[in-house]
Structure 1
Amino acid sequence: MSLDNGLHYLEEELDIQNVLFIGVHGSDSEGYEWIYPLITINDNQNLMSFFRYNDNLCPNRAYANLSNDINRLLDQNKNIEQVVLMGHSYGAMIIAMFSETWINEVPLTLHAVAGPLTGPISSDLRSGLFSNICNYSAPKFIGDNVTLFQWRTIKELDGAFNNLDYDPQIIEVDGSKVTRLPKTYNGRRLGHNWSISWVADQLKK
């Protein structure tokens, strides 16, 4: 992925845009899995953005950087009436941290897609997805002005989770809205990376 770390606009900033949409990638992402979802979700009201971060850092560091970027942007752009964060995999952990901490008057919608929201998993497991997770606790509640959607893949079909003896996507958060993804998408196995595209299609309906 060629973007520098930080929050990036993916299009020209216009007065008509009143929704700040931010995609937050997963661990070791090359970015290709975001192309279709971002194009699909975009419309005239969305200011499409992408947050790039060092995924070797603990999620609380990335969360703090993203939070600072959002607050700075909201101070500069008074047209924004809603913030939407979509996080995939490791990125879902980062955006989920906002569910308890958001204090801005602007409403926040969170889409946690195929995210290991339970937190740290033993480093001796085959999957490297969790090797750098530290100082993270799963959200337990949703604050005022926040909506949380959990989009969960079928664990056995998800290459990031299918070697685990439990589903790390499952957490109980009162008031969150949970959707289990189907087995296939456009004739393909609906696994980890395709999950964002499937969710984008649902949001566009």
Structure 2
Amino acid sequence: MVSVHGSRSEGFEWIYPLQTLDTDNSATFFYRWDDRKCYSSSAKKLIFHLREAARGLPDTERVVIIGHSYGGVLVASLVEGWKHSLSTEIHSVAGPIGSSFSRGGCNFNPPKDIPDKLTFISGEPSTTWMLLLGD
């Protein structure tokens, strides 16, 4: 599982919940990125890091990527270009992904097509998510 923070996150609110999810059977990662800038270059870097992690974890059966707020925009931007053969879930939680928008010269368009082997889930956090992430 890979988690991606939103704007102005210190990251501390993610660490304890992620530590509890990181087990011998589940690798858990936190992707730290410069959310003051456009998400697109960080999205490309995340794809690179995911490929490297997949090579190092050859027994991986499924990838789950969770992004919150502006991090949800980043992970939603991965959907249409996703080319990994693993079964994948991308969750965008509380991100403004329902329509196109611009932020600091960075344009976002929500995904229109979802590749095979990929599940894309977006929306407001449920009670389960709040409990999981400690909100």
- Normalised by the shorter chain, which TM-score bucket? 0.7 to 0.9
Name the one with the larger helix percent.
2
**1:85 is aligned to 2:75:** no
- Give the TM-score normalised by structure 1: 0.57
1:133 to partner: Cα distance: 6.1
- Larger relative contact order, structure 1 or 2 (CA cutoff 8 Å, min sep 6): 2
- Give the TM-score normalised by structure 2: 0.83
**1:29 is aligned to 2:1:** no
1:90 to partner: Cα distance: 0.6
The match for 2:122 is 150
Q: Which amino acid aligns with 2:131?
A: W
The match for 2:21 is 41
1:66 to partner: Cα distance: 0.3
- Report 1:38-187 matches (<5 A): 38-117=18-97, 118-120=99-101, 131-132=103-104, 134-153=106-125, 181=126
1:86 to partner: Cα distance: 0.7
Aligned pair count reads: 133
Q: Which amino acid aligns with 2:64?
A: V
Q: What is the RMSD computed on CA atoms of the aligned residues?
A: 2.3
Work out the CA distance in 2 between the residues paired with 1:77 and 1:38: 18
* 5+ residue gaps, structure 2: none
Work out the CA distance in 1 between the residues paired with 2:52 and 2:77: 18
Are the aligned partners of 1:120 and 1:133 in contact in 2 as well (CA < 8 Å)? no
The match for 2:131 is 198
State the secondary structure of the residue aligned to 1:33. helix
Percent identity of the aligned residues?
Answer: 32
Are the aligned partners of 2:14 and 2:133 in contact in 1 as well (CA < 8 Å)? no
Larger Rg: 1
* 5+ residue gaps, structure 1: 1-20, 122-130, 154-180, 183-194
Are the aligned partners of 1:27 and 1:55 in contact in 2 as well (CA < 8 Å)? yes
Work out the CA distance in 1 between the residues paired with 2:132 and 2:111: 21
